[in-house]
Structure 1
Amino acid sequence: MYDVIVVGAGPAGSSTAYNCAKKGLKTLLIDQRIKPGTPKQCAEGINEEILKELNIVIKPEWISKKIDSLIISNYKNNIILKGRRTRGYVLDRKKFDYALVERAKDAGAEVKLGIKVLNLKYNTIILKDKIEIKGKVIVGADGPYSTIGKKSGLGNPKLGCGYQYEISTQNNNHLSSLQMYVDIELENKGYLWIFPKEKSLNVGVGSMEQRNLKAPLDKFVKKLGLENEQVVEINAGQIPLHGPLQKFCNELVLLVGDAAGHTNPLSGGGIPVAIFDGILAAEVIKKHLKDKIPLTNYQQLWWQSEFGKATTASLKARRIYLRLLKEGKLEFYLNCLGTHNINSLKQLAKLGLKIPGIINKIKLFLFFKRFMKYYKYAW
């Protein structure tokens, strides 16, 4: 019998397996994919500060592009928030995810790939041909449609969705900037983005609702003048954008990452919290197996963490953002402000004073106050 069986070898599962194995627990990491990280599941962005906090030493081969700025745009006007140094990276998720699996293996976790978990009965996972594997603790890291979540009775999170093209092109005026576009004609319950890579762009659209996003993405690509460029990869999937499950653990099962609904509900970013979930889950599991501390402590500790606080703040900011988006206020603000390069919070505050109307200023202030305090935990 294993101490821990981790189902799913994305960042959350690999982090859990690595940290459990490091603590001397007999750990199995299992995934239905033959090569984790393929196909990629997101726009691949992560900030430098959170990597340091999570003790992840970035390797050059994981980096597709260094990022030093964020652009908020409605095509005509651009607010460019630029730092003096690298703020983050657009990763090569295929290399990054695979490296995390190898890290778990090197720490002592047993890894089985290309094997699908069909069912869960108490502390036993069921594979093809009715093969059974027992574990003292089961960790569901198997994504938004988690089999472990469903079969354990914890359920699956409420989902939004994303649709993205990776486009091979050098047609990008801001080679080191993450770009967010406001366009309510194409998407009024989310946003559109460009994340630059070394020789390509991740161009996508995300929505709080589940719907077909191909048509709005095609229109976005055309507005950007990229319709004749080569699409080298298409990524589509469901994203937990409505906050965590009401319960994401019980006396035998912990859910981590997307399976728990731990994606940031405003940005859609999920890599940092996935890695953190693995660290926290391993601590709780070790204490549970050694000292009989309840596994259910995981939920309380998660909400008390900086990621839990960031989720609470982001849910509030998300409500403000969606209201401003629906009312056309965000586009109005961009038209009022025009194009500006911002290098400090002081400059940003001064620019905000140009927004007409006290109520508009208050709405924008509340949005930034609730989100910016925890922005590093959001992507």
Structure 2
Amino acid sequence: MSRPRTHRLTKHIKVLGKQNSFNTYAACIGCVKKFDKDEISKNTFTNKKPQVKNHLKNCPDFLEKIESKEEVDDIINLTDNEQEKNNKCRKINGDSNFALSSKYLSSVGVKKNDIKSSLIHKFTKKEESKFEHLLLRMTVANGFSFQWIEHPTTLEFFEFLSPLLVLPKRKALSNRILNKQISELKTLQNEKLINDEIGVVLAFDGWKNVINQHIFDINSEYERLIELISKIKDLIEKINQLGIKLNAIVSDKFLEIVFLPCIAYQCQLAIGDLFKASPILRTASSKAIMVTAFFKNANNSYFIDKLHDIHQELYYKYYSIIVPAKTHWNSNYFCFNSLVRSKQGKGVRVGFDELTSTY
């Protein structure tokens, strides 16, 4: 048998019916006295203490019934008997389980961290190394400068978490800790490469990739490969020393090392054979390279500017003349296409014909 839903405010309301399988709905005694049945139905509320309190607090008819604002406030704000009983039970149970010292009670509300006695301990060597590793990862992942580790707000935050914790200085984070992590990363990388049964490919490209990232940038002249030659040689020697299987190197210095399963290289070989077999194509390819080399030469700036003007007039933008590359199988097509596009203008057609005949 279910217990009826009653509370200390029940005497100030009248339960009118069942709202659902769990709750009833009611109206206050002020509304019941003043309104008829139809009007009362517009002012009902769920028979729960928070809803009852809210209605009694804002109902002018209940205030008129009680006749005193102070008495209404007392009815609404008076401590619940059942709440007092629960508080007493909690206090008795709490006293039986543990006793709060006066020192702890006096420290509640103080800004200083008081969890160190139970939760904070001094780091072991292994834990300290792990903590430094996490600090460096957080620095790099969030793009922080190394100065953040010495900022007053950082020190205050970590002191709150652990008053016994000593943060590393900025120089330690940017030198000792960083160098240690780099060394460990290189060791892990070498282990994986040595155990890789398929092998690795060294690729050096001074140009930008499809998402405009510089793959390998040595200095401001990142488009030149000559600065990488010495580094490529050093890498080859190191790879041989470690016993890593090397499949291919994309470089102008080591053309004799080729990774045949590469589909791009196979296409390049096939297209090269087609051009070699046809005298017409071979001649056209040779002259196309001469023309592109002419417009890529900075000494011919006058003709380059004229070509820019014609492109702007025809296409409202400039199309670059593309030089074919040995490692790009489709670069021959792009080279010829760029020349055909540039020959659309009547004035430039004559210049192209003269230039071609000269060569």
TM-score (norm 2): 0.22
> Greater helix percent: which structure?
2
Q: TM-score, normalised by structure 1?
A: 0.21
